[in-house]
């Protein structure tokens, strides 16, 4: 994680997105906490990556008390839903499989988590529904009440502008979900990404800002709504509380958009950033991300060649696939032909599943369950 921040994250969040976090003092320094944030409606969850790194840095890079994001295991099933196809990347990044049991166990152990109550619909809502919160899932209410854990709302501003060419239509999403298991199809981004893989991970240089609000005492909220047992609310009571938090967050989000969202790209600071980072312009922009992410990942597994320039280029030649027309075909073939850790040739089915991360990891058992 340290090397990821130094080599990759800081270059992107500070110089390309110029991201800021306000209100960090509202997050309890110790003890369990649920950070509940809105999602930007884009195909790839750039905002969750940026928020995670900002929180980690603001807390002075704690190792034992890092606020860990919960992520949908659906992001690990298809290799292209991981950053540049990097195997098991989300878990190596520090994320926890978002299952009810895992959510329960991490809070029971006093851990700190980032949770997106909109779920996958929050990512797939598209630019045509920007800043419109999707229905909140009630599980975070049930579990926060059970363990008396505060919920800190975090509002992401300008992240919706990562890709304004990402529009979704629910009737089309339902069709593709049934036929291909793909939860949503962003247009026209999907067409560009189909031709050039690079565009799937592309993000415009929006000036991301995150604002942490005041902690919410979930038990008090439930009591005020007439819940007789706030430590163990029923589903209907949890849904009612989740809906109330969503309504309140929507109002505050609208207010903060008016305050911080008037210059979603803030071109003047972007130009200044590019001037300062003359030798890193390509890498800090989306054009260099395939190389930046992939090289960092492979250097981790291949320390012998990590400092030898010629060896690294020979090792990383397949990155060109992200820029080729219909490069997905090229990348898929290369993944099958190259040996571990660059491909899956020679691996058994079980070894391949473990390598790629196509399983549900159980916090309760501390095991990897297919």
pTM of the model: 0.90
Q: How many domains does the chain divide into? A: 2
For residue 93, give both structure tokens: 């990044």
Q: What CATH number corresponds to the domain at position 106?
A: 3.40.1130
Q: Report if residue 275 sits inside a domain.
A: no
**Mind listing the pLDDT tens digit for each residue in 240-252?**
999 999 999 999 9
Of 157, 161, 135, the closest CA to residue 22 belongs to 157
Would you give the distance in Å from CA 227 to the centre of its chain? 33
Taking all residues of the chain, what is their mean pLDDT, rounded to a whole number?
A: 89
Residues 180 and 318 in one domain: no
**Mind listing the pLDDT tens digit for each residue in 67-96?**
999 988 777 777 877 889 898 888 888 899
Of 89, 101, 93, the closest CA to residue 67 belongs to 93
Residues 244 and 340 in one domain: no
Residues 24 and 124 in one domain: yes
Interatomic CA distance for residues 81 and 96, integer angstroms = 16
Query: Residue 243, class by beta-carbon neighbours within 10 Å (0-12 exposed, 13-18 middle, 19+ buried)?
Result: middle
pLDDT at position 370 is 38
The counts of H helices and E strands in the chain are 18, 11
Q: How many CA atoms lie within 13 A of 365 on its CB side?
A: 8
Residues 315 and 214 in one domain: no
Q: Report if residue 265 sits inside a domain.
A: no
Q: What is the mean pLDDT of residues 94-115?
A: 93
Residue that finishes a domain, picked among 260, 294, 324: 260
pLDDT at position 288 is 95
Residue that finishes a domain, picked among 229, 260, 291: 260
Residues 161 and 217 in one domain: yes
Q: Report if residue 266 sits inside a domain.
A: no
Query: Residue 318, class by beta-carbon neighbours within 10 Å (0-12 exposed, 13-18 middle, 19+ buried)?
Result: buried
Q: Report if residue 89 sits inside a domain.
A: yes
Residues 238 and 144 in one domain: yes
Residues 225 and 293 in one domain: no
Residues 90 and 227 in one domain: yes
Q: Report if residue 364 sits inside a domain.
A: yes
For residue 365, give both structure tokens: 């058992």
pLDDT at position 60 is 85
What percent of the chain stands above pLDDT 90? Answer: 61
Q: Report if residue 156 sits inside a domain.
A: yes
**Mind listing the pLDDT tens digit for each residue in 181-223?**
667 777 787 788 889 998 888 999 999 999 999 999 999 999 9
Q: Report if residue 269 sits inside a domain.
A: no
SS3 79: helix
For residue 107, give both structure tokens: 């809070």
For residue 210, give both structure tokens: 């995150």
Residues 68 and 124 in one domain: yes
* Residue 115 φ/ψ, nearest 5 degrees: -130, 135
Rg (CA), the chain: 21
Residue 307 has pLDDT above 70, yes or no: no
**Mind listing the pLDDT tens digit for each residue in 116-166?**
999 888 887 888 889 999 999 999 999 999 999 999 999 999 999 998 878
* Residue 88 φ/ψ, nearest 5 degrees: 55, 30
Residues 231 and 334 in one domain: no
Q: Report if residue 271 sits inside a domain.
A: no
Residues 235 and 364 in one domain: no
Residues 352 and 314 in one domain: yes
Cβ neighbours, 10 Å, residue 24: 16
Residue 164: which domain range? 2-260
């Amino acid at each position: 994680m340290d090397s990821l921040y130094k080599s990759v994250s800081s270059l992107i969040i500070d110089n390309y997105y110029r991201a800021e976090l306000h209100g960090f003092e509202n997050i309890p320094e110790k003890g369990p906490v649920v950070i509940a944030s809105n999602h930007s409606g884009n195909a790839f969850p750039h905002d969750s990556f940026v928020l995670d790194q900002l929180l980690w840095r603001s807390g002075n890079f704690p190792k034992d008390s890092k606020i860990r994001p919960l992520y949908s295991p659906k992001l690990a099933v298809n290799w292209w839903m991981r950053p540049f196809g990097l195997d098991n990347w989300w878990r190596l990044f520090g994320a926890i499989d978002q299952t009810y049991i895992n959510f329960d166990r991490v809070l029971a152990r006093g851990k700190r988590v980032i949770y997106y109550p909109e779920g996958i619909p929050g990512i797939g809502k598209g630019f045509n529904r920007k800043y419109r919160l999707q229905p909140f899932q009630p599980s975070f209410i049930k579990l926060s009440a059970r363990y008396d854990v505060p919920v800190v709302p975090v509002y992401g501003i300008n992240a919706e502008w990562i890709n304004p060419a990402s529009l979704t239509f629910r009737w089309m999403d339902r069709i593709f979900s049934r036929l291909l298991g793909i939860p949503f199809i962003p247009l026209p981004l999907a067409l560009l990404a189909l031709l050039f893989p690079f565009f799937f991970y592309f993000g415009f240089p929006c000036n991301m800002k995150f604002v942490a609000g005041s902690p919410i005492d979930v038990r008090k909220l439930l009591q005020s709504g007439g819940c007789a047992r706030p430590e163990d609310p029923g589903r209907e009571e949890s849904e009612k509380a989740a809906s109330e938090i969503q309504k309140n967050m929507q109002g505050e989000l609208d207010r903060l958009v008016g305050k911080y969202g008037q210059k979603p790209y803030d071109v003047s600071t972007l130009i200044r950033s590019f001037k300062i980072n003359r030798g890193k312009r390509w890498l800090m922009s989306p054009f260099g991300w395939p190389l930046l992410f992939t090289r960092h990942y492979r250097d981790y597994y291949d320390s012998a060649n990590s400092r030898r320039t010629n060896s690294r280029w020979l090792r990383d030649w397949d990155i060109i696939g992200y820029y080729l027309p219909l490069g997905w075909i090229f990348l898929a073939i290369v993944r099958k032909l190259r040996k571990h850790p660059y491909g899956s040739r020679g691996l058994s089915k079980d070894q391949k599943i473990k390598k790629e991360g196509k399983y549900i990891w159980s916090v309760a058992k501390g095991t990897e369950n297919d």
